[in-house]
């Protein structure tokens, strides 16, 4: 199956100040530890994933419970073969979004290598560039093997988020958007995929990706607090507005209508029905268990990380409440000592 892209790239204008640092002293031992861990824990998509394992074509990819229509009358009326087809299409749509996110992360991190002032941070960021390239590589390769290489275009929300953070001239805006917000969501998603996917190869791929992610969140927790403390009132406002917008973009997940259209089982009115059903489920009435766990997991992590970097003031708390969070929940968040030791 050929890729269905009409558009596979677009330019993003940006102007960034590159800092050519020539002081090589260790000023941030925690950051150096993260760098050491990154070098130690590299893995290779070609060598460390068993691509020769046969893929069971009868098996779906994501857990059926993740499909928006699951549990609704629309789902009930499908036979086993149709459910399987919808599962494959839906999984391709979601994984496409994750794949585009990994590619965007790689680009943003390459800018961060240039922009972050300290050599400790520059060294670490070079490893995240490689990590994100590997994540894009592994997902693209998985989709080729399992999903007929069907890659959907990125959603308008994801594009808006990456356009903003790649276009920004401030490193801490990129780090808040990427390492603090987008990656918190990605960690919760990959954790859910690792634990629940119907295809064991996707469980393995997700676990591998997750093994890199605590370092990436670690970067934001180590680098942001001092910077955020030093911001002027106007800069802080800008950061808060960006944070609010990034959270909104990340959390208002988009309905994979194109995937439902591709299988051709539903007319437009039924698609609207599925979309409505999805919103009701999102409000938490009769949601599959692990979707609730996912939300709670991600919400706690977002709140905890915001608090760790010094962003959780009343203004951000009220944004979080508007988005359906409980900003006073005590979350686990990123555990700095665990990641440094791990």
Among 33, 94, 135, 308, binds Fe ion (CB under 5 A): 135
Nearer to Fe ion, 177 or 327 (CB): 177
Q: How far is the CB of 187 from Fe ion (least distance, A)?
A: 8
Only segment of 60-68, 91-99, 211-219, 295-303 that touches Fe ion (CB under 5 A): 211-219
Nearer to Fe ion, 69 or 129 (CB): 129
Which three-class secondary structure state does DSSP give residue 149? Answer: coil
**Alpha helix segments (H runs only) across 27-118:** 29-40, 45-48, 73-76, 80-115
Q: How far is the CB of 122 from Fe ion (least distance, A)?
A: 17
Q: How far is the CB of 214 from Fe ion (least distance, A)?
A: 10
Among 33, 94, 146, 216, binds Fe ion (CB under 5 A): 216
Binding mask 305-334 for Fe ion (x = CB under 5 A): ------------------------------
Q: How far is the CB of 264 from Fe ion (least distance, A)?
A: 33
Only segment of 106-114, 175-183, 190-198, 295-303 that touches Fe ion (CB under 5 A): 175-183
Binding mask 182-201 for Fe ion (x = CB under 5 A): -x------------------
Nearer to Fe ion, 216 or 319 (CB): 216
Q: Say how many residues touch Fe ion, by CB under 5 A.
A: 5
Nearest CA among 133, 105, 122, 130 for reference residue 31: 122
Nearer to Fe ion, 67 or 189 (CB): 189
Q: How far is the CB of 70 from Fe ion (least distance, A)?
A: 27
Which three-class secondary structure state does DSSP give residue 213? Answer: helix
Nearer to Fe ion, 129 or 247 (CB): 129
Tell me which residues in 95-134 interact with Fe ion (CB under 5 A).
Answer: 102, 132
Nearer to Fe ion, 102 or 297 (CB): 102
Give the footprint of Fe ion on this chain (CB under 5 A): 102, 132, 135, 183, 216
């Amino acid at each position: 199956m050929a890729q269905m892209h009409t558009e596979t790239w677009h330019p993003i204008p940006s102007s960034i100040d590159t800092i050519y640092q020539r002081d090589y002293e260790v000023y941030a031992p925690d950051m150096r530890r993260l760098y050491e861990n990154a070098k130690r824990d590299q893995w290779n998509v070609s060598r460390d994933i068993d691509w020769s394992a046969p893929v069971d074509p009868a098996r779906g990819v994501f857990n059926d419970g993740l499909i928006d229509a699951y549990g609704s009358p629309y789902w009930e009326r499908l036979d086993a073969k149709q459910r399987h087809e919808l599962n494959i299409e839906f999984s391709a749509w979601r994984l496409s979004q994750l794949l585009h996110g990994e590619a965007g992360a790689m680009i943003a991190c390459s800018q961060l290598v240039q922009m972050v002032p300290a050599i400790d941070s520059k060294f670490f960021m070079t490893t995240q560039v490689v990590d994100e390239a590997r994540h894009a590589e592994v997902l693209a390769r998985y989709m080729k093997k399992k999903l007929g290489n069907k890659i959907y275009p990125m959603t308008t929300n994801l594009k808006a988020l990456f356009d903003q953070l790649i276009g920004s001239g401030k490193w801490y805006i990129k780090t808040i958007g990427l390492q603090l917000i987008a990656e918190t969501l990605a960690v919760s998603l990959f954790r859910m995929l690792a634990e629940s996917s119907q295809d064991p190869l996707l469980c393995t791929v997700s676990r591998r990706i997750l093994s890199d992610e605590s370092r990436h969140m670690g970067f934001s927790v180590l680098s942001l607090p001092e910077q955020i403390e030093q911001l002027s009132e106007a800069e802080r406002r800008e950061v808060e507005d960006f944070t609010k917008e990034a959270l909104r973009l990340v959390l208002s997940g988009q309905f994979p209508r194109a995937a439902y259209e591709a299988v051709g089982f539903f007319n437009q009115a039924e698609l609207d029905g599925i979309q409505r059903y999805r919103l009701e489920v999102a409000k938490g009435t009769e949601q599959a268990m692990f979707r609730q766990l996912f939300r709670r997991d991600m919400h706690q992590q977002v709140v905890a990380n915001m608090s760790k970097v010094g962003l959780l003031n009343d203004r951000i708390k009220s944004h979080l409440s508007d988005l359906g969070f409980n900003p006073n929940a005590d979350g686990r968040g990123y555990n700095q000592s665990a990641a440094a030791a791990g």
